[in-house]
Amino acid sequence: MLKGNRKYIFFLAICFTLLIALQVLSPKAINWKLSYSSRDKIPYGTFALYSVLEDIFPGQTIENKTFPLYNILNKTEFQHSNYIIINQKFEPDSLDTRELLRFVKQGNSVFISANNFSEKISKALKIKTDNYWNYGNNFSNDSATFSNIYNSSDTVQLHFTNKLLQKPKSYFYSKAFENVYFSKIDTGKTIVLGENQFKKINFIKVQYGKGTFFLNSVPEAFSNYHFVSSNHDYVYTALSYLPVQPIFWDEYYKAGNVKSESPLRVLFSNEALLSAYYLLLFSLLLFMIIGIKRKQRIIPVIEPLKNTTLQFVDVVGTLYYQTGNHKNIADKKINYFLEYIRNNFQVKTNLYDDLFISRISNLSGIALDKVHELFYYFSDISIKKNIAQEELLQLNKLIENFHKESKR
């Protein structure tokens, strides 16, 4: 068999060698994705900032949070803690927003740097943001002011309003800056901490309950690209407003935080493995084309297996009852229910956000609050290592009620 296929094996070996050479010798393109993830060393990741957090906050505990705010803050009383969130936009759902506001109202501090804030956050803190070009639209095309703004569009100057923190020269940023600013603030509860070269506010302190929000509209300044430059003092100074207390670093609300449930996610996340995967598919296709002329062997008759489903269910049920592993049973019930949702509603179940819950409510005809309760109970169960029998019974009750009330 090998003798007849040597020429094809030789051809595939040459292709594979050329592919490896191209991968090694070709220059890698710079990834300009707005990630803001502490794991990414690309220009707009925050690996550099995260690696020096212990130097910025000496003696303070730093925890990396990878779950939604609801999962972390719900039913937990925090006092004297800081939460740092950096991303291009910050748009948590209604439940996450509720828990965040409660967290600050209890006396904690939250630092958020983003170009865009959700409508719920903006409404609660009475703020509104605008961008550079809307500022320029206030002038006619032939005006000297508009011309000056247009010519300086590639340069952003930032400074702090506190005279003790001001430098002889502003912090200059030369590329890729949205230059978003706060066009509306609640002057009764807000202190201006920073501005741009046009006296537009980009850093504020908002008192909320017993706690404080620190809102910054230029997250680009915290990215690797700008942090490693001479402007890292801007980041140190901005974060120095946070009180000395434990730090929670957000790693969930990131532009690049796409949760893939595919078994092939490891292959698709690595260029070398992806190339090898495509080469394997090409090789299999070529082998099928070449071997299509071969005669198929006689297919033996195989007797169908006997249906032993009831015996299997009885054995498995007895095993789980004896071991008392409620968490294992709960995980399987959740998985079976999510499979039911995927098959009957044709909806992906990898993220329980507002859009997903609203869609399930519309398709099933069940009230939105009941669907909210069900899926956020799933979230609570999934992060626990062990659960009590009462929690398992409550999970079963919620799932049965869903099946009874569903109109599909």
Pairing, β 171-173 against β 181-184: unpaired
Determine how β-strand 247-250 pairs with β-strand 89-90: unpaired
Q: Read off the pLDDT band of 307 (50, 70, 90).
A: confident
Residues of the chain with CATH 3.40.50: 47-139+147-250
- Give yes or no for residue 138 having a pLDDT over 50: no
Cβ–Cβ < 8 Å for 161, 195: yes
Quick one: pLDDT at residue 204? 96
Whether residue 2 has pLDDT greater than 60: no
CATH class of 47-139+147-250: alpha beta
Confidence of residue 147 (pLDDT cuts 50, 70, 90): very low
pLDDT tens digit string along 176-204?
677 789 999 999 999 999 998 889 999 99
**pLDDT grade for 263, boundaries at 50, 70 and 90:** low
| Strand 247-250 relative to strand 82-86, pairing | parallel
Q: What average pLDDT does range 306-310 have in this prediction? A: 74
Evaluated on CA atoms 128, 133, 135, 138, the torsion sign reads: negative
Residue 149 has pLDDT above 50, yes or no: no
Q: What is the torsional sign of CA 61, 65, 69, 74?
A: negative
Residue 235 has pLDDT above 90, yes or no: yes
**What one-letter code names the amino acid at 181?**
Y
The amino acid at residue 340 is Y
Give alpha helix (H) positions in 291-388: 309-323, 326-345, 354-364, 368-382
Our separate counts of H helices and E strands in the chain read 17, 13
Q: What is the mean pLDDT of residues 14-40?
A: 80
Report whether pLDDT(394) > 50: yes
Give the tens place of pLDDT for each residue, 322-376. 666 788 888 888 888 889 888 888 888 888 888 888 888 888 888 888 888 888 8
Q: What is the pTM of this model?
A: 0.57
Other CB atoms within 10 Å distance of the CB of residue 51: 12
Confidence of residue 137 (pLDDT cuts 50, 70, 90): very low
111 has a pLDDT exceeding 70: yes
pLDDT at 160: 94
Residue 157 has pLDDT above 90, yes or no: no
Beta bridge partners of 83: 110, 248
First to last CA, the chain: 55
Contact between 250 and 67 under an 8 Å Cβ cutoff? The reply is no
pLDDT of residue 1: 47
Question: Is residue 35 within 8 Å of residue 255, measured between CB atoms?
Answer: yes
* pLDDT score, position 150: 45
Which residue in this structure is represented by tokens 């925050």? 46
Strand, helix or coil for residue 265? helix
The residue-averaged pLDDT of 372-396 equals: 85
* Over residues 387-403, mean pLDDT: 85
Give the residues across from 194 on adjacent strands. 160, 203
pLDDT digits (tens, 9 = 90+) for 63-104: 999 889 998 998 788 889 999 999 999 999 999 999 999 999
**Is residue 212 predicted with pLDDT exceeding 70?**
yes
Given pLDDT bands bounded at 50, 70 and 90, which one contains residue 107?
very high
Among 171-175, 253-257, 331-335, which is the least confidently predicted range? 253-257
Per the model's pLDDT, the better-predicted residue between 32 and 160 turns out to be 160
* pLDDT, mean over the chain: 82
Which region among 69-83, 136-150, 252-266 has the lowest average model confidence (pLDDT)?
136-150
Lowest average pLDDT, out of 62-66, 155-159, 218-222, 265-269, goes to: 265-269
Reference 111, options 132, 90, 93; nearest CA is 90
**Stretch 35-49: mean pLDDT:** 91
> Residue 125 pLDDT > 90, yes or no?
yes
Tell which wins on pLDDT, 312 or 102: 102
Q: What's the rounded mean pLDDT across residues 103-115?
A: 95
Give one word for 306, left, alpha or beta, with left for phi > 0 and alpha for psi -120 to 50.
Answer: beta
At 146 the pLDDT is: 44
| C-alpha–C-alpha distance, residues 296 and 366, integer Å | 53
